[in-house]
Each structure stands twice: as structure tokens, then as C-alpha cells.
Amino acid sequence: MPLFVLLYNIKVKDNILLKNDILWYDINENGYIQGELKYKSAVYIFMKTCEKKSFYVGASLQLRNRLSNHRSRINNWNKDYYNNNGSLLFYNSVLKYGWNNFKFGILEYVNLSDNKDINKSVLLQREQYYLNVINPSLNVCKIAGSSLGVKHGISFSVNLSKARRGKKIKTKKLKTIKVRVITSDTRLKLSSRSIGIKVKIFDNLNNLVNEFPTMTSAAKYLGVSIRTIRRILNTGISYDDYIYMFETIPEYTLTVFNKESNIIREYSSVRAISKDLGISTPSISKHINRNELLKGIYLITKKKN
């Protein structure tokens, strides 16, 4: 059972007294917590210590990664991608007063099961409990897991309007839309070109922390979205204390048997075969796993790695 840290003498808008056994961590000017944190799911709290005290409450299945995301968004606030994203009141407050005028605390470490959906539900319930009790003024959203109450800037509305322009589909026209049928040949061509990406994660001392066969499994382990991992791949910028190495691996191995020379060669893609044999990719894709000789010479098979 998780150990609950209770609150008492509650009043609205941050006028609260927190129980003394909450361990508060100092934060340096760059946003790094001064102390060791457990690799657990938790409900956490930030406290602004200067002027009037105010609080921000959050929760995460991967605490260290969430803190890293907060730090990265604030440190890169002037970039278009980050502006108007995230916990705006909290971020603006940190930008105004500085990280060293905030403290960090754990309200509750939550012991979870192996079921991801149940874990998220339990964590949201505990977060909602503290949102109701504390009513923190630096939280725009007072409902855990919801974006209710967030106000986007004018630029967001303009860009959203442009993106949706011309894409409205009237109900009367829905019946005229033809369903696109993807044939088995098309699926074969698409699958023969697909690849996987292996992810290796190292710490700051270049020690291997873990490795994953796909970006999806890496994202699940770290408790972040697959978009975050793709962003690290595309930009080369890490948003936490880890170093990422990506290795492209073929999802399928293509084998070409030359009947005349009795030579067998393996390839990672249809394009590689096309370049080596001087045969078009459509012709090669058509003969994969068909048990038919291409040009009366080549037998092409595909197996999943």
C-alpha cells in the first residue's frame, strides 16, 4: 500500500499548512533537483517560496522524466514549439522568479500494478485528491488529466483555423466517399520497405542503461509519448539526463537465390536488390514469396527478423 502524506488546516488558493514530514528539495538555477528521487510513480508539488507562497501540483508515472520535461520546456520557452504549451502559470512564474525561488516535494509515491490503464486511473485519482485539497493557484487545470481551463493564444487559434480550412466534410457527401481497398500486393510492397529503429540509452558517463528493439518500447519504458522519442531522433536534442543512440535495422530480410550460379544473397530492402540486379522495384515486389522465378533466374523470399 502506498504511504499517503496527509494535509491539514486547508484553505483555498494555497493558504495551506503542509505536514512537516514532507521532504522539500532545493532546486538550482538550472532547474535540477538537489537530491535523489525514487524511480517511481508519484504525485508531486512545486512551492514558490518568495513573496506570497504558491503551489503547483502534478503527477507522473515516470517522475524523473516529467521533471526533465518541465525543465526543458521552461529553458526553451522562447522557441516557437514550446511557447503556449504545458503548465503556463507555473512556467511563467518560474521564468519570472527563477528556479532557485522554488522548492520541490513529493506528496505521495504511488505503488502501481502491471496494468497501464489501471495505473493511469489510480494516479489521476490521487492527483485529483490533492488538487481538490490544495487548490493550487499555479495549476490552470483543476481536473487531473484534462486540459479544461487552458486558454490558447491568438496565434494558436489562427494556425488551427488555417489547418482546418477546406477540410470540412458535409454529411450529404459522406455516402459518395469511396473506401480505398488495399490489396495484398500493395501491403507486400509497403511492408518490404518498412524498417525498425533500435534505441540505446546511456547515462552521462556513457554507461548503457537499457536498449530497446523499437522506439515504441523505449517510449513505454520511459513513460513518454512516441512523439517525444521521434523528436529526439530528428533533432538530436535530449530532454532528460540520458544520451540516446538510434540504430536503423531492417524489419525484414530479403533472400535472392540465383538459379544459374546457385548463389544466395541477403538484402535489407527491395531497393537494394533493384540496385544490385538492375531490375525495377515493382517487378521485384511482385515476385516476393510467389515461388516464381524473376526473369527465369531469381527466386526471392522474405522473412521477418
Task: Read off the amino acid at residue 156.
Answer: F
Task: Please tell me the pTM assigned to this model.
Answer: 0.45
Query: Distance from first CA to last CA of the chain, Å, rounded?
Result: 42
Q: How far is CA 61 from the centre of its chain?
A: 12
Quick check: helix, strand or coil at residue 104?
A: strand
**Phi/psi of residue 147, each to 5°?**
-100, 15
Note whether 196 and 250 are within 8 A (CB): yes
**Do 277 and 269 contact (CB within 8 A), yes or no?**
no
Sign of the torsion formed by the C-alpha atoms of 216, 222, 225 and 230: negative
| Residue type for position 140 | V
- 7-134 — its CATH code? 3.40.1440.10
Q: Give the residues across from 26 on adjacent strands.
A: 103
Burial class (CB in 10 A: 0-12, 13-18, 19+), 102: buried
Q: What angle do CA 147, 14, 86 make, to 5 degrees?
A: 25
- What pLDDT does 72 receive? 85
Q: How far is CA 249 from CA 195, 196, 213, 231, 252, in A?
A: 6, 5, 9, 19, 9
Chain segment 253-263, per-residue pLDDT in tens = 889 999 888 88
DSSP 169-212: --GGGGGGPPPPP--HHHHHHHHHH-EEEEEEEE-TT--EEEEE
Task: Find out whether 60 and 110 touch, Cβ atoms under 8 Å.
Answer: no
Q: What is the pLDDT of residues 12-66, one digit of tens each?
A: 344 444 555 678 899 998 889 888 887 788 899 999 998 888 999 999 888 888 8
Give residue 219's pLDDT: 85
What b/e readout covers 210-247, taking b as 16+ CB neighbours within 10 angstroms? eebebbebbbeebbbeeebbebbeeeeeebbebbbeee
Helices marked H in the chain — which ranges? 63-75, 88-97, 116-134, 154-164, 184-193, 215-222, 226-235, 270-277, 281-286
- Cα torsion angle, 284, 290, 296, 297, sign: positive
Query: Which residues of the chain carry a pLDDT beneath 50?
Result: 1-17, 80-81, 148-149, 152, 173, 191-194
Domain definitions of the chain by residue range? 7-134, 195-249, 252-304
* Cα atoms found within 13 Å of the Cα of residue 111, Cβ hemisphere only: 4
Distance of CA 60 to the CA centre of its chain: 13
Query: Half-sphere exposure (CA, 13 Å, Cβ side) for 68?
Result: 15
Q: Degrees (nearest 5) of the Cα angle 21, 126, 117?
A: 135
CATH among 1.10.10.10, 1.10.260.40, 3.40.50.300, 3.40.50.410 for 195-249: 1.10.10.10
Q: For residues 60 and 101, give the distance between their C-alpha atoms in angstroms, rounded to a whole number.
A: 23
Q: Return the pLDDT at 78.
A: 67
